[in-house]
Chains A and B, each alone.
Chain A
Amino acid sequence: MSVDTTPQAPATPSPAAANNMSRLAFRMRDYGIVAALVIIVIALSLSTDTFLTSGNLVNLLDQTAVLGLLATGATICIISGVFDLTASATLALSAIVGVQVGRVTDVYVGFAAAVLAGALLGFITGTVVVRSGVNSFVGTLATSLVYRGLAVMVTGGAIVYPLTQYAESFGVLTWPSLFGLTSATIMFVVVVAVLAVIVSRTTFGRRLYAVGGNAEAARLSGIRVGSIHVTAFMISGVCSALAGLILASRAGSAQSTMATGMELTAIAAAVVGGTSILGGEGAVWRAIVGALLLTLIGNGFNLLGWDTIYQQVLQGLLILFAVTMDRWLRKRTR
């Protein structure tokens, strides 16, 4: 930036020190949650022999994939200033579409159909929210009921399976792949990396943040606020569909009650990662950190042999703690 030394510049007391202080506070806010993750990882590594085994780490990442995808979709929506409560219903409906299309064509065509269904459902959700002008929280809550209902209608409430001759290849996402990681993990990592680049490097990403930060300022800057929101919902829909495929591939089936309530866990993961629910701030990597943290807690309970009765309480406390810290640091830096 321009180094201006005109005499008009006000003399702030010890600007260098002040700058360092506030920069440190910014760092804390930005990376505090990463520190928390690292601390838990170290603690688990020291207190158990099993945590740092490749088997457990492969397992951990595989477990994170579903929540991580959903949290990424949630984060992108939240950055743009909307909530997508249809995530888990979209997940179920697109997984069902995937299985059913797979029955009449082929497993991979089915997978493609699931992803397409996710994008289409996201488009519908987005269009409903944008056109109706209803608050996204309420609008998507209602839409998610419709999707869940459709899933019940399509399946008649029963579990749907791929044809027997396809059963094995339907499980493709559970197979080991590169570096011994599961195919699901690889897909998760690739998709999230692509989305991270889209959000942080493209003009769409810039507009996403602007719309979430101040929709009116964005509109008056020539941004089509509605289409940015619809696109965010579509991305979230695709993430849900992919998560649905992972779950279906693992279970070898799909059903209308899949992942019920998981949209809220996804939002929690996004928030734990440090994405502000007020919109205009956040990042895809934060979704992953949040999802990893929540998954690690479950993993830790298993490895330490703790009673899983307490797991939810701890997760809840963690979410509260993360949000409180975020708020506290935010207050200090402003």
Chain B
Amino acid sequence: MSTQKAPSIAVRGVGKSYSGVTVLHDIDLDIAPGEVHGLVGENGAGKSTLLKILGGAIKADAGTLSFDGEQVSIGSPRDAIGHGISLISQEGALVPALSVLDNVFLARWSHRGGLVSARADRKRLTGLLETTGFSVDPDVRVDTLPIGVQQQVEILRALARGARVIAMDEPTAVLAEHEKENLLALIRRLAASGTTIILVSHFLEEVLSVADRITVLRDGALIRTGPAAETSPRALVGHMVGREIDVLYPDPRPVPDGSPVVLAARGLRRGLVDGVDLEVRSGEILGIAGLVGSGRTETLRLLFGADRPTAGVVEVDGVALTSNTPRAAMAAGVAMVPESRKEQGLVMQRSVAENVALSSLSGRRSGPFVKRPAEKTAVGEISKSVDIRAANPESPIETLSGGNQQKALFAKWLLRDPKVLLIDEPTRGVDVAAKTQIHHLITGLAADGMAVVCVSSEIEELLALSHRVLVLRHGRPVGEYPRGTTPEVVVAAAFGDHSQGETS
């Protein structure tokens, strides 16, 4: 797939720190041509930093980088591209308003006499689509595409630039199960044709299944590099956290008999969501499963009034919400931990304390003024109970790790003492330790009588936490499964075919 052979990469003594805090320290790493190299570690271990240094997005403070024994200097993404390295970052780097074609050949358009030649680009794109097996309409704007397809566009772009090394940061985090499989298959094919792939992922099974070798980072240091065949998820987690821990899910306490229905929705409709009915009882955790685009997140948003349904009612304690707005839902005792912390959940530049206090400000005021001592106490207590680890509650929340940010998001809603908690992706982008804490938090809240609705693309997590799982397909419930159902059955239902599920 690449015109030239991939170089062997040698990283020596690479380090990076931000205002005195070391995020990478003395990294030595060799990556062979055509290798799939997995990088794993908890949040804040330095995986993304290392990847960004290779991709030229940030500059290392110390150390050297050599390709085929020759020292190179990568000071910008442009340098990296020049050396055949392409970085596919978590956030994505597409220009939303441009077409697929323009994005794939961004700044590398074919031209003739100074004019861009779309025809030549089209031809090149057809070739790339054949090699990758993707099918994308070259003329649609990329912001109209689902996130999984956007990622394919990024991969196409990397290949169009003749990338011989592709570094991917959490590429599967945003993908549905079958899309993940496709991506992993593509990674294998690319590697087989000589492209080096560096893969950062939280999903250990995935890394194990696709990587030749795996490097574990912890607190900015390289702990070990070894063949994937010689390790296991448990051993990797052990290296990541410095000891063997059990990645065990807590069991939710059974829902007491006669527990009342707290949240009910009937005939919810809007966009993707095409008639959803559901009921959740006090103390119950209802999981909602489905592929990306099945309307899971959209359903949750309708329940909270984040979007206004075109039809249907939401009832709390048997009383229909007065209007479909977050304010009305909140007044009725509903809270929602949204899908994206950064975009929908937190005000990143404000302090931890301000964020945690935000949704319950009216509860602690005298006249127009914030009761600061009361706020300090309330925030302090809730932070302690969900275990937010912040050096200082007055520091900007963006300085916290993903896990602590997520815990702060829970804390913000728990301060309102809600009856119903809607959770979209409870542990996305969260390290292993915090993940377990959040799982315990959720089952604990349900045990105390809260009604919980949870959406997660991690099917194991969803099945482990939920009393009941509702499967959506094309915006409609297609099945409801009790606790103890296997992932295969649920995934098969999500795909709408009842043959064999294709997970694990």
| Residues in A lying within 8 Å of B, measured CB to CB | 1-2, 4, 8-13, 15, 17-22, 25, 198, 201-207, 209-210, 213-214, 216-224, 276, 280-281, 332-334
Q: How far is the CB of B443 from chain A (nearest CB, A)?
A: 19
In the complex with contacts A1-B392, A207-B361, A217-B346 CB distance below 8 A: yes
Asked if A8 contacts B347 (CB within 8 A), the reply is no
Q: Which residues of B contact A206 (CB under 8 A)?
A: 354, 357-358, 361, 370
Asked if B347 contacts A222 (CB within 8 A), the reply is no
Q: How far is the CB of A75 from chain B (nearest CB, A)?
A: 16
Binds A, one of B86-94, B250-258, B269-277, B379-387: B379-387
Q: Which residues of A contact B338 (CB under 8 A)?
A: 217, 220
In the complex with contacts A22-B21, A210-B358, A202-B390 CB distance below 8 A: no
Cα A206 to Cα B361 with chains together (Å): 8
Asked if A216 contacts B344 (CB within 8 A), the reply is yes
In the complex with contacts A17-B20, A210-B350, A12-B326 CB distance below 8 A: no
Task: Give the number of residue pairs across the A-B interface with Cβ within 8 Å.
Answer: 121
| Pairs of residues from A and B, 8 with the lowest C-beta to C-beta distance, nearest first | A21-B20, A213-B347, A18-B20, A221-B359, A2-B384, A22-B19, A202-B368, A203-B361
Q: Which residues of B contact A20 (CB under 8 A)?
A: 20
Asked if B389 contacts A4 (CB within 8 A), the reply is yes
Could you list some 30 contacts between A and B, CB below 8 A?
A1-B383, A1-B392, A2-B383, A4-B387, A8-B433, A10-B42, A10-B44, A13-B22, A18-B21, A20-B20, A22-B20, A25-B19, A198-B368, A202-B369, A203-B368, A204-B368, A206-B361, A213-B350, A214-B348, A216-B343, A217-B338, A217-B343, A217-B345, A219-B326, A220-B304, A220-B344, A222-B326, A222-B330, A222-B359, A332-B18
**Chain B residue at minimum C-beta to C-beta distance from A210:** B347
Asked if A2 contacts B19 (CB within 8 A), the reply is no
Cα A333 to Cα B391 with chains together (Å): 15
Cα A2 to Cα B361 with chains together (Å): 22
Q: Which residues of A contact B357 (CB under 8 A)?
A: 206
Determine if B204 is an interface residue (Cβ-Cβ < 8 Å): no
Q: Mark B338-376, 1 if CB is under 8 A from A, else 0.
A: 100001111111100010011101100100111010000
Q: Knowing that A220-B304, A220-B326 are A-B contacts, what are 6 other residue pairs whose CB atoms are under 8 Å apart, sorted by A's residue number? A: A2-B388, A18-B22, A202-B370, A206-B354, A220-B336, A334-B398
Asked if B219 contacts A12 (CB within 8 A), the reply is yes
State the main secondary structure of chain A at its contact with B.
helix
**Chain A residue at minimum C-beta to C-beta distance from B42:** A10
Asked if A12 contacts B349 (CB within 8 A), the reply is no
Q: Which residues of A contact B19 (CB under 8 A)?
A: 18, 21-22, 25, 332-333
Asked if A280 contacts B389 (CB within 8 A), the reply is no
Cα A214 to Cα B342 with chains together (Å): 9
Determine if B83 is an interface residue (Cβ-Cβ < 8 Å): no
Cα A45 to Cα B389 with chains together (Å): 48
| Interface size of B in residues (CB-CB distance below 8 Å) | 51
Cα A10 to Cα B433 with chains together (Å): 11
Asked if A224 contacts B369 (CB within 8 A), the reply is no
Determine if B489 is an interface residue (Cβ-Cβ < 8 Å): no
Cα A117 to Cα B337 with chains together (Å): 42
In the complex with contacts A214-B348, A217-B346, A280-B349, A203-B362 CB distance below 8 A: yes
In the complex with contacts A202-B368, A214-B343, A220-B338, A209-B354 CB distance below 8 A: yes
Asked if A213 contacts B25 (CB within 8 A), the reply is no
Q: How far is the CB of A182 from chain B (nearest CB, A)?
A: 30
Q: Which residues of B contact A205 (CB under 8 A)?
A: 370
Asked if B365 contacts A203 (CB within 8 A), the reply is yes
**Chain A residue at minimum C-beta to C-beta distance from B354:** A206
Cα A10 to Cα B344 with chains together (Å): 28
Determine if B180 is an interface residue (Cβ-Cβ < 8 Å): no
Q: Which residues of A contact B358 (CB under 8 A)?
A: 206, 210, 218, 221, 223
Q: Which residues of A contact B388 (CB under 8 A)?
A: 1-2
Determine if B241 is an interface residue (Cβ-Cβ < 8 Å): yes
Asked if B241 contacts A8 (CB within 8 A), the reply is yes
Q: Mark B111-155, 1 if CB is under 8 A from A, else 0.
A: 000000000000000000000000000000000000000000000
Most chain B CB within 10 A, of A17, A214, A222, is at A222
Cα A281 to Cα B365 with chains together (Å): 22
Q: Mark B11-25, 1 if CB is under 8 A from A, else 0.
A: 000000011111001
Contact residues, B8-45 vs A (CB, 8 A):
18-22, 25, 42, 44
Q: Mark B296-340, 1 if CB is under 8 A from A, else 0.
A: 000000001010000000000000000000110010000010100
Q: Which residues of A contact B412 (CB under 8 A)?
A: 221
